[in-house]
A and B are shown apart, each in its own frame.
Chain A
Amino acid sequence: MKTKTTAAGRSLWGNAAARLRRDPVAIACLAVIAVYIVIAVISPIMLSHWDASHNYELRNAPPSAQFLLGTDGLGRSVLQKTLLGAHVSMTVGFMANIIAIPLGLLLGAFAGYFGRRIDDIIVWFYTTVASIPGIILLIALKFAFADRKIFSGSICEIDLSGMAGVYLALGLISWISTCRLVRAETMKIKELDFVLAARASGRSDFAILMRHVLPNVFHIAIINFSLGFVGAISAEVMLSFLNLGVQNLPSWGKMINEARMDLVVGRWWELASAVTAMFIIVLAWNIFGDRLRDALDPKLK
């Protein structure tokens, strides 16, 4: 026997983090994401005067030293609009994931672990939801939420006609891929000997789910959190483009909508700014999600 006295070992999470730290591409993507998060947090504070910045004399100015990315049809700075758009996109991505990931994780783990009837019902439910084209379901939910409030009367009343409705609608359609993956992984894990050992030790189903199943499927949730951002950001852009999304703030989708007639007369800067900003963050999340999967997947060990 070895007689080393070093006490603590390194967990699989620790191993994954170490692998990620050694991956320069993942670090670069993470840096990009961090920059976007910082912009998303500080831009509404820095640019709170944005609403009043109409200036008709300066409208449709091309990029210059004063306006790095030019101005739009109302004379507002495109740079400021792009930065504020990051706030909307990152918030939507985050909020949609906060709803979708726990939903997918729990339903998937339940379906996979208990099997039989519970599995049938959950699989039937997500197959039904998945069979409706996403964008149509999203628009339908958004309309259904109009003028509705949840928890009305209480202090945490949420008005679903605004952005909260977008978060909820996006969350309710994007849990399916997580649920599917978690279900399949759970079915695999519950047959392993350590789950049998826990049952032989008299642990309850709840304890087995919490201690043995969820920690072993949680990496799927993390990966899907990263990849889910991409879908949420694109969906928000689509909704805003259709005028169903954000109302009082600029977003990349609204910018694309407003600039769609500009391109033919040579005013490319607003469209280019919104598309580039979106392209970079979508690419960063996508590559980061892939790298995260490589780092977390024990099969590559």
Chain B
Amino acid sequence: MNNASAQPLLSVTGLTTWFEVRGGGLFSAKKHVRAVDGVDFTIAQGKTLGLVGESGSGKTTVGRSILGLIPATGGRAVFDGIDLFSLTPGQWRGLRRRMQIIFQDPMSSLNPRMTIAGIVGEPLMAHSSLSRQQRKNRVGELLERVGLSRHYMNRYPHEFSGGQRQRIGIARALASRPDFIVCDEPVSALDVSIQAQILNLLDDLQKEFGIAYLFIAHNLAVVEHFADEVAVMYLGRIVEKADRDSLYARPIHPYTRALLSAIPVPDPGSKTVRLRLPGETPSPVNPPSGCAFHPRCPFTREAAQKLGNSDTSLIQSGGEKVRIVTRCMKETPKLKPLRDNPSHLHACLLV
């Protein structure tokens, strides 16, 4: 951790996680859901990477694969110099103190039969040899740090509101003093007013303890005030990744643009053009060839009108026939840097 500035805390390369699904018939071949299909990113100590995408884009699977909660199919994840996917179960357990997770659903993330003291103290039982009294004191400190009273210790989860439960989940994640926390849509299930409180709390904790976050969200607006870097996922791949300022100021990929235009603007007079995407997210069992976004992409349709028939093809999309650029369905795009900003990566063939 000494050379944190030189080396990222976590670096992920080529992460793939496929799930096997049984085919429809008795003799049909095994199929795979390509939930995560080649994802690269790094997170520096004390920094936040926002990972954004629709449901089904594989963002949750990325977080859980890194923590070893879902076995990754391929790729590498190096955490502070340790190759995570080559660890034995025993070594994993030792490392878990340093990596934690906060969940989306504050209802199912707390055991309904356990007291708050038991829930928050659980990581301490696994990793430290504190006495009962010491553990109680530490739980009290943690509860107060996340804005709850230490008198709540002997209560049960069903006696709290959604926002309070999320604070309890945060206290549990903090208990073992981790260096890295996967925040899996921690505010998506909360009221908007509570969302801001929880985001501010997470921000304060990051500043105080220097924790790195992988912040997963389905909404670019939530990430905007929070992340240092933002990666946008579509069907298991990262389609655009950049510094926060660069991404919000100049989104390149058509999917990022569509997500950004979906953020409501609190001004009734504003005339932003909503970029609507036709069709629905395709199934990751059978993703579209080439650029997986091509059946819904507004750019390729626009570009096809300027090109001759030799470079374009007709495809069926959402019940209508559309003409698109042939290259978009033939060639698999790779992340490439913008010419004037090498840290801004995107995966659009047409830009």
Which residue numbers of A lie inside 8 Å of B, CB to CB? 1-13, 192-194, 196-204, 207, 211-212, 215-216, 298, 301
B126 x A12 contact (CB < 8 A): no
A6 to B155, CA, bound (A): 9
CB neighbors of A among B101-139 (8 A) = 101, 103-105, 108-115, 118-119, 122-123, 125-127
- 9-residue interface stretch from B144-152, B333-341, B342-350: B144-152
CB of B312 within 8 Å of the partner chain: no
Contact of B99 (CB < 8 Å), options: A200, A207, A211? A200
Report the minimal beta-carbon distance from B117 to chain A, rounded to whole angstroms: 10
A12 x B127 contact (CB < 8 A): no
Report the minimal beta-carbon distance from A198 to chain B, rounded to whole angstroms: 6
B176 x A194 contact (CB < 8 A): no
CB of B47 within 8 Å of the partner chain: no
- In the bound complex, residues from chain A placing their C-beta under 8 Å from that of B125 are 203, 207
B103 x A193 contact (CB < 8 A): yes
Q: A5-B151, A6-B151 are known contacts. Are A200 and B96 too (CB-CB below 8 A)? A: yes
- In the bound complex, residues from chain B placing their C-beta under 8 Å from that of A4 are 151
Report the minimal beta-carbon distance from B285 to chain A, rounded to whole angstroms: 21
B113 x A216 contact (CB < 8 A): yes
A201 x B114 contact (CB < 8 A): no
B126 x A196 contact (CB < 8 A): no
- In the bound complex, residues from chain B placing their C-beta under 8 Å from that of A203 are 122, 125-126
Which residue numbers of B lie inside 8 Å of A, CB to CB? 64, 67, 69, 92-94, 96-97, 99-101, 103-105, 108-115, 118-119, 122-123, 125-127, 147-149, 151-156, 158-159, 169, 172, 176
A200 x B69 contact (CB < 8 A): yes
B127 x A202 contact (CB < 8 A): yes
B158 x A201 contact (CB < 8 A): no
- Across chains A and B, the number of contacting residue pairs, with CB separation under 8 Å, is 96
- In the bound complex, residues from chain A placing their C-beta under 8 Å from that of B93 are 202, 204
- Listed by A's residue number, 12 A-B pairs whose Cβ atoms lie within 8 Å are A1-B147, A7-B153, A11-B115, A11-B156, A193-B109, A194-B109, A197-B103, A200-B99, A201-B123, A202-B92, A202-B127, A211-B118
- In the bound complex, residues from chain A placing their C-beta under 8 Å from that of B127 are 201-202
B113 x A9 contact (CB < 8 A): no
Of all chain B residues, which has the CB nearest A218? B113
Q: A192-B108, A198-B122, A203-B126 are known contacts. Are A9 and B96 too (CB-CB below 8 A)? A: no
3 nearest A-B residue pairs (beta carbon):
A9-B155, A202-B96, A193-B109
Of all chain A residues, which has the CB nearest B112? A12
A1 to B148, CA, bound (A): 7
- In the bound complex, residues from chain A placing their C-beta under 8 Å from that of B94 are 202
A145 to B127, CA, bound (A): 49
- In the bound complex, residues from chain A placing their C-beta under 8 Å from that of B172 are 197, 201
Q: A3-B149, A198-B122 are known contacts. Are A193 and B159 too (CB-CB below 8 A)? A: no
Q: A193-B103, A215-B113, A216-B112 are known contacts. Are A8 and B69 too (CB-CB below 8 A)? A: no
A212 to B110, CA, bound (A): 10
Report the minimal beta-carbon distance from B186 to chain A, rounded to whole angstroms: 12
Contact of B159 (CB < 8 Å), options: A5, A9, A202? A9
Of all chain B residues, which has the CB nearest A298? B112
Best-buried of A2, A13, A207 by chain B (most CB within 10 Å): A2
- In the bound complex, residues from chain B placing their C-beta under 8 Å from that of A197 are 101, 103, 109, 122, 169, 172
- In the bound complex, residues from chain A placing their C-beta under 8 Å from that of B110 are 194
Report the minimal beta-carbon distance from B175 to chain A, rounded to whole angstroms: 8
- In the bound complex, residues from chain A placing their C-beta under 8 Å from that of B69 are 196, 199-200
- In the bound complex, residues from chain A placing their C-beta under 8 Å from that of B109 are 192-194, 197
- In the bound complex, residues from chain B placing their C-beta under 8 Å from that of A5 are 149, 151
- In the bound complex, residues from chain A placing their C-beta under 8 Å from that of B148 are 1
Report the minimal beta-carbon distance from A37 to chain B, rounded to whole angstroms: 28
- In the bound complex, residues from chain A placing their C-beta under 8 Å from that of B151 are 4-7
Of all chain B residues, which has the CB nearest A214? B113
A8 x B122 contact (CB < 8 A): no
A12 x B113 contact (CB < 8 A): yes
- In the bound complex, residues from chain B placing their C-beta under 8 Å from that of A201 are 96, 100, 122-123, 126-127, 172, 176
Of all chain A residues, which has the CB nearest B163? A1
A59 to B340, CA, bound (A): 112
Of all chain B residues, which has the CB nearest A202? B96
B113 x A200 contact (CB < 8 A): no
- In the bound complex, residues from chain B placing their C-beta under 8 Å from that of A211 are 111, 114, 118, 122
A254 to B158, CA, bound (A): 51
Of all chain A residues, which has the CB nearest B167? A1
- In the bound complex, residues from chain A placing their C-beta under 8 Å from that of B153 are 7
Report the minimal beta-carbon distance from B267 to chain A, rounded to whole angstroms: 33
